[in-house]
Structure 1
């Protein structure tokens, strides 16, 4: 067969300058049921993925159904607009960023349409998240096999586009090995299902003589022309993801057109539906961890382990562990590791525990030259697995280390060659100045020869970018020398597209171009990726010309980012953990994304807008800096829950960024602020005035009127009632009890406890005195400034905090502890105040000497035994406690008291201080509560206590439909235990 019968390879088509975005948007809005977004904020949010690259899209379409996506593509075709089909947007090679119309399938097109358990298949829409799919399949005993580390937020459409793998691919293979059929759409509107194609099926397709028939004929010609070269040049290794899957067309692979299209990165077709092949769940696990002196030696041992047939075989080096230690990640799990500087984590799975343990012990009996740890406790195994899954986030923005970047993050070779490859790669790092005592780390799917790493490329200067290019070229030659693949998991996109001739040779790269021309001759599908690609140093998100605005008049000092707001805004690495739809991992972030499904309302989306706001490229969609309404609107639904501060692997702290932005956005124009900023931001002064004048009853009467909510500029919801007697008044008239043998602790009189729920403090004082503490309150009245911080009134907040620190200084300098009962106020002392005044010694003392009730009773009260409180409790852990304070001490204390406690995977309650009261937030606030918290509380036995230390959490439970249940503070539970003990 002559190549003359095949189309000429696609060459890069210049971007269509004649497209009228306004007319295109109008046509899409008229014909598409889904959401059409050509606003600057949306374009900024989708300007990059998890890669080094940035291209601002023409606009974004969120289809409501696969057919809606078909219509969107038809409109784009009529306008000659390129299209990028996108899932979770976590691609590391630049394939999910383009100057195109972006189709985001993840919000609506997320259905599991059918399941055939007998044949172990199911049909899904492209936007379904992997973890959600496997949860829905749980009753069948089946699951989709490949599981990337981003399983909590990656979509099946994205996995198909990338040919994803993950650790489980050791057992199940890549996505291409688990696809039955695909329903696909071409740029010209052609639509069909495809899969393996027998000769009879091929004849039937060709008989129709339509566009699909022409495609299949050309595919056969392409296969026949290049079959020998495919067999000769395609690496015969488990993790070849680079290039198009031309090998799927070979007769021995059944002329599998679906297999061909897997991993094509939205450059050939748009996937509308997929029929997946499922595997049985192996419910039992056992893990063997082997320690070695270095990572290459660990890799050398892989071939001897593979015959034992583990379901996962992962490698981790000491550099990754060093990064995790600096970032305080997985501390308990790291203690489980055996001695060594590199480790293999070998996991076995079976239907029974005995069978899994037998497999693990079979390995133990044969292993030599390694330190060993054997785990068969599922909880300990899951913790240890987090050491490996945290890799990407753990190696980004490591304190005190150079910034690292993707680019060469997933090369792969044959497992038997892995040790030699790692030694050569390490030498290459050293040659280019990328190696030092701690990095770059080397880890990954060693059982299949796939290596993950992040490298300290200098992508800030022209010379650094040039060095990055030279390294990439040399690394590509090194992998080709080892017969490997540039990509073993993440695809080529723009990072490696131009390097493909070094791996496949010019003939096969020509074939790739011809394949592109068969499906997309006009180059409208994700142009510039894989075929006729942009160069690896084009469209960089940073680059030598990146010159962002660098604000100098900051309130927060951003000590973890060198005092730079631009570096803080650049923290997000795009891994998208903020986009998970559930909180089953115990995470809090990102509640607004969980209930809206909107990229712009995820931590990642907001970080993208802040990055664009600094206008480092001068061609961005946002050019009005702190005055940007697009950024303000994106931050509007941020609950300031601080969940991202602990849950984001890159330590993005959106609550702090929001407060800083609002301070500058309204600077010099307070009349622009919503009234709620004043009514709730200045709540401490209002509450103090009500307390001093003893007008609580009058204030409560007024608070019941709609006039009050209108005047305050808040939602029409119940306003919390002032207590008839304030904490200071109660404390002044009481008679101290107990011996005070343990010393004196200062109880922090936060506004919410002092003026709304003083009964919480009364219970705490009783518990503390029973435990042997003497309790004092600070004089005069002071405040932590929380409400001014959360509303972005940072000038006032700093003045309030400075006064507070001066007042507390004598107590702190004497080593005294400050006890916080309200988690949000306590978190200010443990976090925010040190970032506002990082050099103040008294501030550091305040940070270090502020404790929670549980911490005081467990860490600072040796020998203390809480009262016995048998029974069950649900714990709604406050967001700021989760993010800043931690809940381990509470769990320990409750266990010691005999409480059977269930920590709810509910994330944020939805009230989040002022958020739930602000205009326009009521529906989001309620939706957050209805995700897990309220349904679980309604289901609970009436005897079950509902622990909610946060005033917001208790208020939300009180006001919304919680089945008449009220939340109680830990102090109240312990005080009730004392009452039972007295009886």
Structure 2
């Protein structure tokens, strides 16, 4: 063994060689190693370093250097493995950033060629014009990569139709352990024998595979698990079947090998026709086991999928603001719900299938109502909840979590009810409970016992349950994994699952492909104990400083960070908002997951300096504080809030840039400048201002919005209300800094609409919410502002008067951060209940029953971009709905991520490029298709104006512009 100094020198030389030969990125810094030390599993192992290759040549160069220095290599895609497949003491090679091309589509043969970093959802979108798709559909398909599904032998809800990835691979191009570039595709036994005669590593692999098949064929025939839904061990069954059938495809052996045999650089995949029409039935059960017994009669009706959601998931969905509105299809509090899907040519065929299913279930004894859904949007809401089930389970607060270690056992469906009944008893005998969801049609329920791994007893409990479940799975003829693979969680048990003969065959298979143990050692065979290398274990301790914001809802600042389970939903590239900076860079460092990982390292002592570490600042720097993770992350990781608190602690040890004071105290500067608005505006447009901006680190091409000589409050003081004002009641208008000083016209429009609808408008007290201060981490100053606001608002809070806000980030600060500063103050609850966004107020008070007849037609295409905080903490649909009342208007919601300006973020020089890049991810294109661009936030307004050439209007300005009123 090398001495520490020799090891350091050894690694230094290795890094030097990698940087000489690899054209991509070579990252051996501590931060990168921390970010790649975990995946979606319960495990954590520091890698030696990370390589992000640009092409297969970079991978070959990495393998060559790794061989020379005796360091393993670990292929990685999205890092969403639940068994710990993608963590290890190795060079992690992440193909997801650059190697994501769809190389070829052959629609006639229904195949395609793709690089390993291509995300399955992106692949399927590219295949839409051909009417084709990739059949396996794991719940993580919006971030799972081609290489990942191959490594894991992934499947999903429709496995009873499409099988597993091994059933859908045609060929694989791979780099072998000696650097050979080999392609594995179907060959006859004669061709295999010819290949086996070569003295290359490829030849030795063919020789060994043929020898293993012939020597262990009888053992495979007799002892290999019969259930087809299996992602455990190596695919000896496919190897043996290929020899028996006279046609061998070693690509099928690579599938499910978890990157332990070779490095796949390109794959040829089978494609299937995209279903023309779908229907979905929802069946609710008050008895969980009874729902499992229903699976067999349901399968007799030939569905495309039968999925289960249990009571835990239903209840957690209801508790999550971002998901609860998607649960309108569940009634009451059922113990479980079955989702039964059918494919068909048209609606008539689907209705017939649903009727047949209902008749079979009535005959079986199911008497409850059956919800039948033919509308695609309604179906999408149901599937949305099912697909985020895992993340929702992990949102359970506290240290007891439903953890993955035996969650993936798969048994023949006819044994499912009996197996789960016994499984539940094992869990209860160990003094805990479990959550269940997933693929009932294939006998693969994801069963997650609730365990506290931070305690020694919790770790012992995990092992006891695992040992007992292995025996149970074997008793029912099942496999330890139906799709999540072995990794560090289940590889230890493969000798018991497969028996000594088959396990020996697997060890020989590994040795033939990887004689120097270069590829991802410790997975599938020769694994460490499953209760080692835990992310959380008895030795884990968090050091939590006093916080300014309350994290009581998470049971503490540390547990708020630990909400992140690594599922990587933040790596989604399409739909929703999360995570803007990742979408722009495709870099793991810019995910919410990475930010949670570095924060956890800081509070657990793995990162010197803790929350004062510049490394933490670097990883959190590109967080736009959009809050999308708060609602879109199934585990509700509120990274914006965590960043506010982090910045407060960080700047207790570091000097702040001067621009933070400018942006944090922007209201003070506006108050000083407003009386001299023309002069200030002229100065802001002058060359002198650009010099000042460069000095402050502000992008010189950006301009702060101009000040108005007449503020909104000054206008309101001279304003004469409309005759209709007051017939419906009174409302207090909360006027934000930007409406008052920069965009008074949008405030005037709000007043016009509200008065026309019969509301008398009063102004709420003129106290800043502190949003700019919060964003920059000036938390004590922001807390003082919040205290002043509560005191000033106290008389208003005692009245029966709603409070309406114009700027989402400011109004929602009243509902969130003010509450977080003073969680035990009764006034914040009243403030929360009374505060409404303009469009929320219109929706909740049925304002358009009065206004509809007074809106002039506007035959225009209106594209609406809603502020990110509004999407996260309110509902974007209300802004769209308000404009849909305008006759002849075509109103569309821009389904895009954040605008990219995000308050002061896009003004800062080092953020300017990525800010504009984010805008061009879809927002600019959407804006340019519009006749009118509608916004709800001032940042969105300015970013769209600067990047698209359009002149956006607040939704109130558009409504006021078509409103006929009697002055």
The TM tier, using the shorter chain, reads over 0.9
Measured after TM superposition, the shift of residue 497 of structure 1 is 0.8
Say whether the 8 Å CA contact 2:308–2:439 is kept in structure 1.
Answer: yes
For structure 2, the residue ranges without an aligned partner over 5 or more in a row are: none
State yes or no: 1:687 paired with 2:680: no
State yes or no: 1:456 paired with 2:450: yes
Which region of structure 1 is more displaced relative to structure 2, 516-525 or 711-720?
711-720
State yes or no: 1:566 paired with 2:587: no
**Residue number in structure 2 paired with 1:756:** 742
Q: For 2:454 and 2:391, how far apart are their aligned partners in 1?
A: 20
**Residue number in structure 1 paired with 2:815:** 830
Correspondence list, 1:645-724, <5 A:
645-667=630-652, 669=654, 672-691=655-674, 693-705=675-687, 706-719=690-703, 720-724=705-709
State yes or no: 1:70 paired with 2:75: no
State yes or no: 1:317 paired with 2:305: no
- Distance of aligned partners of 1:608 and 1:198 in 2 relative to their CA distance in 1, 3 Å threshold: same
Q: For 2:285 and 2:702, how far apart are their aligned partners in 1?
A: 61
**Residue number in structure 1 paired with 2:574:** 582
Say whether the 8 Å CA contact 1:550–1:614 is kept in structure 2.
Answer: yes
**Residue number in structure 2 paired with 1:10:** none
Return the match for 2:627 from 642, 646, 656: 642
State yes or no: 1:841 paired with 2:801: no
Say whether the 8 Å CA contact 1:32–1:71 is kept in structure 2.
Answer: yes
**Residue number in structure 2 paired with 1:377:** 375
Cα offsets for 1:111-164 (capped at 9, x unmatched): 011111111111100000001111111111111100111111110100101100
Correspondence list, 1:824-903, <5 A:
824-861=809-846, 863-866=849-852, 867-868=854-855, 869-871=857-859, 872-898=861-887, 899-903=889-893
Question: Aligned residue pairs: how many?
Answer: 946
**Residue number in structure 2 paired with 1:784:** 769
Cα offsets for 1:773-800 (capped at 9, x unmatched): 1112234x31010111111111111111
Say whether the 8 Å CA contact 1:314–1:447 is kept in structure 2.
Answer: yes
Cα offsets for 1:629-664 (capped at 9, x unmatched): 111011111111111111111101111111111111
SS in 2 for 1:806: helix
Return the match for 2:134 from 114, 122, 144: 144
Measured after TM superposition, the shift of residue 252 of structure 1 is 3.8
- Distance of aligned partners of 1:329 and 1:449 in 2 relative to their CA distance in 1, 3 Å threshold: farther
Q: For 1:169 and 1:800, how far apart are their aligned partners in 2?
A: 56
SS in 1 for 2:92: strand
Return the match for 1:246 from 236, 248, 269: 236
Which region of structure 1 is more displaced relative to structure 2, 424-433 or 105-114?
424-433
Correspondence list, 1:486-565, <5 A:
486-551=480-545, 553-562=546-555, 564-565=556-557
Q: For 2:163 and 2:62, how far apart are their aligned partners in 1?
A: 34
Say whether the 8 Å CA contact 1:327–1:398 is kept in structure 2.
Answer: no
Say whether the 8 Å CA contact 2:175–2:181 is kept in structure 1.
Answer: yes
Measured after TM superposition, the shift of residue 815 of structure 1 is 3.5
Return the match for 1:85 from 75, 85, 98: 75
Q: For 1:556 and 1:240, how far apart are their aligned partners in 2?
A: 47
Q: For 1:19 and 1:54, how far apart are their aligned partners in 2?
A: 25
- Distance of aligned partners of 1:735 and 1:744 in 2 relative to their CA distance in 1, 3 Å threshold: same
Return the match for 1:362 from 338, 356, 363: 356
**Residue number in structure 2 paired with 1:416:** 414
Cα offsets for 1:371-420 (capped at 9, x unmatched): 32211111111111122112101111225894322112211100111111
Measured after TM superposition, the shift of residue 982 of structure 1 is 6.6
Q: For 2:686 and 2:761, how far apart are their aligned partners in 1?
A: 35
Return the match for 1:427 from 425, 440, 453: 425
State yes or no: 1:951 paired with 2:938: yes
- Distance of aligned partners of 1:711 and 1:211 in 2 relative to their CA distance in 1, 3 Å threshold: closer
Measured after TM superposition, the shift of residue 686 of structure 1 is 0.3
**Residue number in structure 1 paired with 2:922:** 932
Measured after TM superposition, the shift of residue 711 of structure 1 is 4.3
Which region of structure 1 is more displaced relative to structure 2, 125-134 or 627-636?
627-636
For structure 1, the residue ranges without an aligned partner over 5 or more in a row are: 1-13
Say whether the 8 Å CA contact 1:111–1:128 is kept in structure 2.
Answer: yes
**Residue number in structure 1 paired with 2:396:** 398
Measured after TM superposition, the shift of residue 861 of structure 1 is 4.9
Q: For 2:850 and 2:775, how far apart are their aligned partners in 1?
A: 36
- Distance of aligned partners of 1:319 and 1:18 in 2 relative to their CA distance in 1, 3 Å threshold: same
SS in 2 for 1:874: strand
Q: For 1:955 and 1:727, how far apart are their aligned partners in 2?
A: 19
Q: For 1:712 and 1:746, how far apart are their aligned partners in 2?
A: 38
Say whether the 8 Å CA contact 1:47–1:97 is kept in structure 2.
Answer: yes
Q: For 2:858 and 2:342, how far apart are their aligned partners in 1?
A: 38
Say whether the 8 Å CA contact 2:543–2:603 is kept in structure 1.
Answer: yes
SS in 1 for 2:248: coil
SS in 2 for 1:494: helix
Measured after TM superposition, the shift of residue 19 of structure 1 is 7.2
Which region of structure 1 is more displaced relative to structure 2, 761-770 or 347-356?
347-356
Say whether the 8 Å CA contact 1:294–1:317 is kept in structure 2.
Answer: no
State yes or no: 1:807 paired with 2:796: no
Correspondence list, 1:582-661, <5 A:
582-583=574-575, 587-616=576-605, 620=606, 622-661=607-646
Measured after TM superposition, the shift of residue 566 of structure 1 is 1.4
Measured after TM superposition, the shift of residue 696 of structure 1 is 4.1
Q: For 1:148 and 1:753, how far apart are their aligned partners in 2?
A: 46
Which region of structure 1 is more displaced relative to structure 2, 155-164 or 18-27?
18-27
Say whether the 8 Å CA contact 1:690–1:696 is kept in structure 2.
Answer: no
Q: For 1:273 and 1:293, how far apart are their aligned partners in 2?
A: 48
Measured after TM superposition, the shift of residue 310 of structure 1 is 1.5
Q: For 1:844 and 1:19, how far apart are their aligned partners in 2?
A: 60
Measured after TM superposition, the shift of residue 929 of structure 1 is 0.7
Cα offsets for 1:237-282 (capped at 9, x unmatched): 2311111111111124633211111011111111111000111111
Q: CA RMSD in A?
A: 1.9
Correspondence list, 1:265-276, <5 A:
265-276=258-269
Say whether the 8 Å CA contact 2:192–2:248 is kept in structure 1.
Answer: no
Say whether the 8 Å CA contact 2:843–2:882 is kept in structure 1.
Answer: yes
Measured after TM superposition, the shift of residue 604 of structure 1 is 0.7
- Distance of aligned partners of 1:626 and 1:331 in 2 relative to their CA distance in 1, 3 Å threshold: closer
Q: For 2:309 and 2:71, how far apart are their aligned partners in 1?
A: 44
SS in 2 for 1:285: strand
Say whether the 8 Å CA contact 2:174–2:262 is kept in structure 1.
Answer: yes
Which region of structure 1 is more displaced relative to structure 2, 930-939 or 206-215?
206-215
Q: For 1:822 and 1:893, how far apart are their aligned partners in 2?
A: 16
Say whether the 8 Å CA contact 1:338–1:373 is kept in structure 2.
Answer: no
SS in 2 for 1:978: coil
Which region of structure 1 is more displaced relative to structure 2, 94-103 or 321-330?
321-330
Cα offsets for 1:939-964 (capped at 9, x unmatched): 33xxx32111110011011222x1x3
Measured after TM superposition, the shift of residue 223 of structure 1 is 1.3
Measured after TM superposition, the shift of residue 18 of structure 1 is 7.3
Measured after TM superposition, the shift of residue 214 of structure 1 is 1.2
